[in-house]
Amino acid sequence: MNGLLDGRTVVVSGVGPGLGKALCLQAAAQGAKVVLAARTESRLNEIRDEIIDGGGIALAVPTDITDDEAVDSLVRTVVAEYGGADVVINNAFAMPSMKPLARTDFEQITAGLELTVLGTLRVIKAFTEPLEASKGSIVNINSMVIRHSEPRYGSYKLAKSALLAMSQTLATELGDKGIRINSVAPGYIWDDQLKWYFGEIAKKYGITTEQVYEQTASKSDLKRLPTPDEIARAALFLASDLASAITGHTLDVNCGEYHD
Ligand SMILES: NC(=O)c1ccc[n+]([C@@H]2O[C@H](COP(=O)([O-])OP(=O)(O)OC[C@H]3O[C@@H](n4cnc5c(N)ncnc54)[C@H](OP(=O)(O)O)[C@@H]3O)[C@@H](O)[C@H]2O)c1
């Protein structure tokens, strides 16, 4: 037992096949008991089983973070099973509208805010008591969209900018309870979704997927794109005691594509 999070209970809210899965597997690799929360029970169970098969400890709790009762039930289950919580990582994602902001329905903008901002706030409020007891920490997964204003990202940027503002305010408001709150802002993530997308671009322009990768990566200092595991490890660093004096911070993890 020499992990960064040995014996800690880490709740990952919004576990999907991309970064959410990497966060769970990496947390388990660092010795954490992992609680997986999202709506699709079958996916949670698969990732839970992978952790348990690898000798780790994990619990899947199907949860819709836009639902008060579901989130309260998640907290009750975590406290009953593990006696409390040390870390909450908010990762939930739903595809935002990619229309120009002026042509985006208010309903779509509201849905993004409901999930990214209010969903995350609901989870944080519900876990504040156990996190105060453990002097725990929170990591909110943000995005490099807060660093640029490219067209068609307006709806996503609105939600993630509000998430950042909320994270900073909560860092101040919950600091005297001993709870730290930080953000991770990934850029590209070299996951299956991006591999598929680069394949589509390659087909369209009659080039190879590797060429699309190289052209994209050439804009970063390290000339490559980060993997989900690399993003996850940055989040776990912030969650861990190694970051015990860091709160209200945003860590860009993008191989040097943007410098904040
Ligand atoms: N992928 C990228 O390139 C990229 C780049 C920059 C930043 N990010 C950020 O990184 C994070 C992870 O992105 P990802 O694409 O890798 O996602 P992911 O971990 O593959 O999936 C996120 C999961 O959130 C869950 N979710 C959605 N609505 C929910 C709800 N109401 N309650 C509970 N869970 C819910 C969904 O699962 P269910 O449908 O089962 O609930 C979804 O599979 C996001 O915050 C995203 O903004 C991603």
Contact 22, 231 (CB under 8 A): yes
**Which residue minimizes the CA distance to atom 41 of ligand 1?**
39
pLDDT in tens, 141-187: 999 999 999 999 999 999 999 999 999 999 999 999 999 999 999 99
This prediction's pTM: 0.98
Q: Which residues line ligand 1 (CB under 6 A)?
A: 14, 16-20, 38-40, 43, 63-66, 91-94, 115, 119, 141, 143, 186, 188-189, 194
Q: Give residue 113's pLDDT.
A: 97
| 147 Cβ neighbours under 8 A, 6+ residues apart | 185, 252, 258, 260
pLDDT value of residue 248: 98
Most informative mutation of 11, 19, 197 for ligand 1 (most atoms within 8 A of CB)? 19
**In angstroms, rounded to a whole number, what is the distance separating the alpha carbons of residues 98 and 153?**
6
Residue 43's CB is within 10 A of a number of other CB atoms, namely 18
Who contacts 240 (Cβ-Cβ below 8 Å, separation ≥6)?
4, 5, 30, 137
- Please give the distance, rounded to the nearest whole angstrom, from the Cα atom of residue 189 to the centre of ligand 1: 12
User: What mean pLDDT comes out for the span 107-113?
Assistant: 96
Name the residue at shortest CA distance from atom 11 of ligand 1: 91
Domains of the chain: 9-189+228-253 (3.40.50.720), 190-225 (no CATH)
Task: Give the pLDDT score at 62.
Answer: 98
pLDDT above 90: residue 25: yes
Does 126 have pLDDT greater than 70?
A: yes
Q: Looking at residue 56, what is its pLDDT?
A: 98
Q: Are 112 and 96 in contact (CB under 8 A)?
A: yes
Index of the ligand 1 atom closest to the CA of residue 188:
3
Q: Is the pLDDT of residue 1 over 70?
A: no
Question: Coil, strand, or helix at residue 35?
Answer: strand
Over the chain, what is the mean pLDDT?
A: 97
State yes or no: pLDDT of 110 exceeds 80: yes
As a whole number of angstroms, the distance between CA 260 and CA 252 comes to 8
| Residue 260 binned pLDDT confidence (cut-offs 50, 70, 90) | confident
Atom of ligand 1 nearest to the CA of 160: 47
**Residue 259, pLDDT above cutoff 90:** no
20 CA from centroid of ligand 1 (Å) = 7
Contact, 29 vs 6, CB < 8 A?
Answer: no
pLDDT, tens digit (0-9, with 9 covering 90-100), for 207-258 = 999 999 999 999 999 999 999 999 999 999 999 999 999 999 999 999 999 8
Tell me the pLDDT tens digit for each residue of 42-94: 999 999 999 999 999 999 999 999 999 999 999 999 999 999 999 999 999 99
Q: Check residue 150 and give its pLDDT.
A: 93
Pocket test for ligand 1, best of 93, 164, 195 (most atoms within 8 A of CB): 93
Distance 15 CA to ligand 1 centre (A): 7
